[in-house]
Structure 1
Amino acid sequence: MLNLVVDSIHDETDRIRVFTLCEASGAELPGYLPGAHLDFDLGELGTRSYSLIDWKSSLSTRNYTIAVQREDDGTGGSKAMHRLEAGRAIKVLPPENDFELRDGAAPVLLLAGGIGVTPLISMASALDAQARDFAFHYSARSAGVMGFRERLGQAFPDHMVFHFDDQAPLDLAKLMSAQPPDTQLYICGPKGMIDAAREAAITAGLAEANIHIELFSAPEAQSGDASFEVEIHDTGEVFVIPAGKTIIEVLEEAGKDLMYDCQRGDCGICQTDVISGTPDHRDVVLSEADRAAGKVMQICVSRAKSGRLVLDL
């Protein structure tokens, strides 16, 4: 863990608060690449992930910058972050990156929804510094709740396009159909937007391998969720996964050592082979073909349509 100190705080909007963090001794911090995030230890609330923001393609190792949108109906993590004050010490894992910006000459389309803009700012900074071809489309409910709008317009005036749901909503089909077939697409935002953008991109002929995704929040529980059983294939152990808990949560409580990271269904690290049973896929990683085949699943968010899943864990 890194022992960081909140160096400064400012409010970007009524709900978005920006934090600058530094090492208490002033020492250099671990470096990172565009798309990276930090995992914050919030005690009983668990960990929360926030993307690193870089405006100058410097990827500074003297401080880190993140932005947190307060979710009043959330599970408490964002509200705990908003209660932090300058000078407060906080434990943070070193930067990790499940949303890397690929090298290459292909055109790039950055697509942000709401606070999902944060990792794409660092990508835009890097692309601009490299003089690569890119467009940056950013959608929000209204201009008043859109964070970083003025600064983005100043930093990337030839690349930014803003969309507001209460004025002229983003037309995903039109946007995707205008993209060259080799476009590298990076999407970050709520799951509904991601699913719609992904479908529009594939319909327009973009290759699934060129669509890169990150959720900014974990999928919420759905009405009608019921308990189901998970059997570990090698040992025959059976665990009940109740509504409101994930497979990972239940198995970790039972002492199982699992490999995972995002717990949002977008990094793919927890992908597990399905021996039998029917998964209820709630990730944004798998292709439609993989979902239909039902041979793998992301156990951090996905559930079951059958009464029991037998997993290769």
Structure 2
Amino acid sequence: MPVTEAELDVKVAGKEPVADGVVLLSLVRPDGGPLPAWTPGAHLDLLLAPGLVRQYSLCGDPGDSSVFQVAVLRERDGRGGSAYVHDRLAEGDTVRMRGPRNRFGLDESPRYLFVAGGIGITPLLPMIEEAARRGSDWRLVYGGRTRASMAFADRLTRDHPGRVELCPQDETGLLDLDALLGDPRTDTLVYCCGPEPLLAAAQERCASWPKGALRFERFVPSARNDAARNDAARNDAATAEGAAEGAFEVELALTGTTLTVPPGRSILEVVEEAGVAVLSSCREGTCGTCETAVLAGVPDHRDDLLTEEEREAGDIMFICVSRARSERLVLEL
């Protein structure tokens, strides 16, 4: 079935600086009621203004249903979301939210290595607390531009002595990923979040690790998938070997409707034009909102969410960016 999730108004109950260029928002229901349940790694959408929707990782306590907390970095070259939060959103304001959803959950493992770059620390905070609660062996290596720019650094070192390594770039240089990830381990899951160069480097270093050992989350498209989508916009739907050329058909199993998706257009756009409502947010293959079950056919995955195992299974896809390797797809829509 199509994804459904909560959408409600929340009030900004608190807004405080937690590092240079980072503010922590505390969001509550205006009526004081409980917020939806969530698990470590989850994020939500904030509908800041018409056409301005942004995803932020929850960084508070999943056991506290009275408040959501998100930390927002002012992006110097951003697209307007962080500037809106920093400059216009004030304590007492009401904003629409959607979610939470989680494509970055904390799986069971005897040992964890958490690697954070800058604001990428936010989804890892509740994971660290959960790993500590489970009694798992874990370590955090946290890099940032400067010590003053690293949100929650003091709290982490205070609460977890001996397990947290802070690496401000102006003091220690870039994270030494060769030392961290050079030796594959069979008993360790690596959770990584941060800027794209860090994620790409971690993927490269973990290529020889057991399949699925590296877990990461992006909020902007990777260079590889962004290039694939640009190719699609130039009417080239065959950027990956075996991908279907040009147009393909999509059958909507719940209505019996068959639609044609032409080159350069997304499944989501075509489905919406046909009057079928589908939840969506980022339209870049990073948020997970438009997850759709595949009943038949072979997807051409162009998202930044699915694991290799999920891609091979081919039973779900994100229709805002992904296309088809077969001439026809049957979707649970």
Q: TM-score, normalised by structure 2?
A: 0.75
CA spacing shift, 1:92–1:260, aligned 2, 3 Å: closer
Aligned with 2:212: secondary structure? helix
Pick which of 254-263 and 38-47 moved more. 254-263
The whole-number CA distance in structure 2 between the counterparts of 1:250 and 1:79 is: 32
| Aligned pairs for 1:103-118 within 5 A | 103-104=108-109, 106-118=110-122
Equivalent in the alignment of 1:121:
125
Aligned with 1:32: secondary structure? coil
**Pairing 1:231–2:253 present:** no
Aligned with 1:29: secondary structure? coil
The whole-number CA distance in structure 2 between the counterparts of 1:138 and 1:272 is: 38
The whole-number CA distance in structure 1 between the counterparts of 2:130 and 2:315 is: 37
Contact 2:167 2:173 (8 Å CA) reproduced = yes
CA spacing shift, 1:139–1:233, aligned 2, 3 Å: same
Quote how far apart the aligned CAs of 1:282 are: 5.8
**Pairing 1:76–2:97 present:** no
Deviations 1:108-151 (A, max 9, x none): 11111221110100111111222210011112233342222222
Quote how far apart the aligned CAs of 1:187 are: 1.5
Quote how far apart the aligned CAs of 1:88 are: 0.5
The whole-number CA distance in structure 2 between the counterparts of 1:311 and 1:78 is: 40
Equivalent in the alignment of 1:217:
220
CA spacing shift, 1:233–1:133, aligned 2, 3 Å: same
Equivalent in the alignment of 1:252:
272
Aligned with 1:208: secondary structure? coil
Deviations 1:175-232 (A, max 9, x none): 11356322011111223322221221232xx222232221133457569754225432
Higher relative contact order (CA closer than 8 Å, sequence separation 6+): 2
Quote how far apart the aligned CAs of 1:264 are: 5.1
**Pairing 1:30–2:36 present:** yes
Deviations 1:30-65 (A, max 9, x none): 2221111122223422432111112xx563111111
Quote how far apart the aligned CAs of 1:12 are: 2.0
Residue in structure 1 matching 2:190, options 172, 185, 194: 185
The whole-number CA distance in structure 2 between the counterparts of 1:295 and 1:26 is: 39
The whole-number CA distance in structure 1 between the counterparts of 2:184 and 2:138 is: 11
Equivalent in the alignment of 2:304:
283
The whole-number CA distance in structure 2 between the counterparts of 1:86 and 1:53 is: 19
Q: CA RMSD in A?
A: 3.5
Deviations 1:214-262 (A, max 9, x none): 11334575697542254325446243527xxx66456535545557676
The whole-number CA distance in structure 2 between the counterparts of 1:87 and 1:259 is: 28
Contact 1:115 1:189 (8 Å CA) reproduced = yes
Aligned with 2:135: secondary structure? coil
CA spacing shift, 1:249–1:70, aligned 2, 3 Å: farther
Identical positions, percent = 32
Contact 1:190 1:216 (8 Å CA) reproduced = no
Residue in structure 2 matching 1:163, options 163, 167, 171: 167
The whole-number CA distance in structure 2 between the counterparts of 1:289 and 1:20 is: 34
* Corresponding residue pairs, total: 300
Contact 1:263 1:300 (8 Å CA) reproduced = yes
Quote how far apart the aligned CAs of 1:84 are: 0.6
Residue in structure 1 matching 2:69, options 65, 70, 74: 65
Aligned with 1:103: secondary structure? coil
Q: TM-score, normalised by structure 1?
A: 0.79
The whole-number CA distance in structure 2 between the counterparts of 1:37 and 1:273 is: 27
Contact 2:184 2:210 (8 Å CA) reproduced = no
**Pairing 1:92–2:97 present:** yes
The whole-number CA distance in structure 2 between the counterparts of 1:97 and 1:280 is: 19
The whole-number CA distance in structure 1 between the counterparts of 2:120 and 2:71 is: 10
Pick which of 38-47 and 16-25 moved more. 38-47
The whole-number CA distance in structure 1 between the counterparts of 2:230 and 2:35 is: 45
